[in-house]
Amino acid sequence: MRMLQRKIGVFGLALVAMGLGFPAASWAQDDLLQGFDSPPTVSQPPKDADTEEDQGPKEDQTSWVELDGSLSIQGSYNYAHQAPPPGMPDWRGLSRLKLVGRADLKMTFSENWKAQLGGYGFYDWTYEIRGLGQYPDPLLALYRQELEPREAWVSGKMGPVDVKLGRQIVSWGKSNFLRVVDVFNPIDNREPGLVDVGDLKLPMTMSRVDVYWGDWQFTAVGVHEIKFNKNPVLGSDFYPAPFTLPEEIPLSNGENTEYGGAITATLGAWELGFYGANHFNDAGHAEPLTAPPGAFVLRHERLLTRGFSVSLTSGSWVMKLEGAQVQGLTFMPSPTQTLRLTRYDLLAGVEYYGWSDTTLMVETAAQQYPGWTAALNNTLEKPAELSGQTVVALTRDFSNKTVHAMAALFFFGPTLQNGGLQRYSLGYDLADALVVTGGVLMYQPGQPGDLLTRASDNDRVFFDVKWSF
């Protein structure tokens, strides 16, 4: 479905990284939310190989070198902000006006060996227009401009074994929005709800081996590059605290290698997955220091995650279930008290694509700490004993699939009491490779002190003009 290849707005609002004192923090700690900028991959009924058209040898149809990518102009305007405290940036009005470029060079050396080299960059004129002097240097360094490599890998097939080496993205599980077993790649959380799908997950240097045996696939992954989420910093309208939190990032060496494995299978209409990983906590934990009093440092502990996923396709319906046990989550109520807890995550979801040019997706997830104690209220994260998230997304195409409408709702809390987000957008294909999209993003307050209550004046309208090549 062409519609499903459009971005439908992902709210990467596991945001605010450290969950600085908000009930939503425990979700942020494991990037549970992938966001609403991500065009979900809708499961389809298994295809019969005998009905596939004969495409002929790949080398007869495709050049051994291909270049594709995109250029886009993106903007947003904040219409609900109040005047900021003295000394803080003023985010009323124009908050984004940037040129974004992405390119991927794809090389096919033979039927079995391929490579890709990608790059990404942007420049945001907002800060010059509004005056550089009001923005702190760390914010300018993160938001004003960027140029970095993206996926860069080489892959080969040797009989039933596939090998892939280099900077890449590994996606585990069947969920579209909420992350349970998908633990490796960090996320760009700098502008929740506005990050383009292709740039949401951050690639890392990995080694991956897949072995195929009938309907089963066995995967082993080693992650050699250690990096974490790109989060808002002090001065951003999405940063929830009046102070900075220094971060300690482990060295990218052999001792700190992350690793994991997966066993997956497609058995008729069923898809099964079993996963295990030893990895760093992307969000980390705030560790209070003995001196100076009231100071913290952000450290990243290692976690052990075991989980499963199962999905069933029946007619126009796809039903999915994911669960995980996460061991080693660290919290520090005081410099001398360390708590290490186990958390259980469970997700259920459904997709329906029986209506013409329309897709409905619903996902809901819960997290529980069986060993929760009142001492956790003294931590900067303040994780709830039971947390929840629910996502509802509806997309539809009109006018021969040249107009793309989307409505997406996201709610915090097991009873939806901790606030939420709404994103509505409308896109139009001016040409095959040129799409104009506009919409509105609204943040709904929850209980006093909730993350979304503090960000509730970040409502904005946005636009995106994107040319793909």
* Residue 70: Cβ within 10 Å count: 17
Answer yes or no: is 53 within a domain.
no
In angstroms, the CA 73 to CA 123 distance is 10
When divided into structural domains, the chain yields a total of: 1
Residue 26's pLDDT band (cuts 50, 70, 90): very low
Answer yes or no: is 163 within a domain.
no
How long a stretch of residues is the chain? 469
Domain limits for position 438: 2-42+65-99+118-143+169-468
pLDDT at 408 over 50: yes
Distances (CA, A) of 176 to 10, 316, 322, 355: 10, 17, 12, 19
In angstroms, the CA 340 to CA 330 distance is 5
- What is the percentage of the chain residues whose pLDDT exceeds 70? 85
> pLDDT, tens digit, for every residue of 329-383?
999 999 999 999 999 999 999 999 999 999 999 999 999 999 999 999 999 999 9
Answer yes or no: is 360 within a domain.
yes
Answer yes or no: is 55 within a domain.
no
Answer yes or no: is 112 within a domain.
no
> pLDDT, tens digit, for every residue of 213-249?
999 999 999 999 999 999 999 999 888 777 888 999 9
CB 222 within 8 A of CB 207: yes
Distances (CA, A) of 254 to 184, 210, 221, 224, 226: 17, 22, 14, 7, 11
Q: What CATH number has the domain bearing residue 437?
A: 2.40.160
Average pLDDT over residues 406-434: 91
Instruction: Give me the phi and psi of 140, to 5 degrees please.
Output: -60, -40
Answer yes or no: is 208 within a domain.
yes
Answer yes or no: is 152 within a domain.
no
> The tokens 């186990």 sit on which residue?
342
Residues 6 or more apart whose Cβ sits within 8 Å of residue 126: 94, 95, 96, 97, 98
Which of 137-151, 231-245, 423-437 has the least mean pLDDT?
231-245
Residue 32's pLDDT band (cuts 50, 70, 90): very low
Residue 195's pLDDT band (cuts 50, 70, 90): confident
Answer yes or no: is 111 within a domain.
no
Read off the pTM.
0.85
Which of 153-162, 181-190, 287-296 has the least mean pLDDT?
287-296
Which of 28-42, 133-147, 268-282 has the least mean pLDDT?
28-42
Closest to 78 in 3D by CA, of 94, 56, 65, 67: 94
**pLDDT confidence of residue 129:** 97
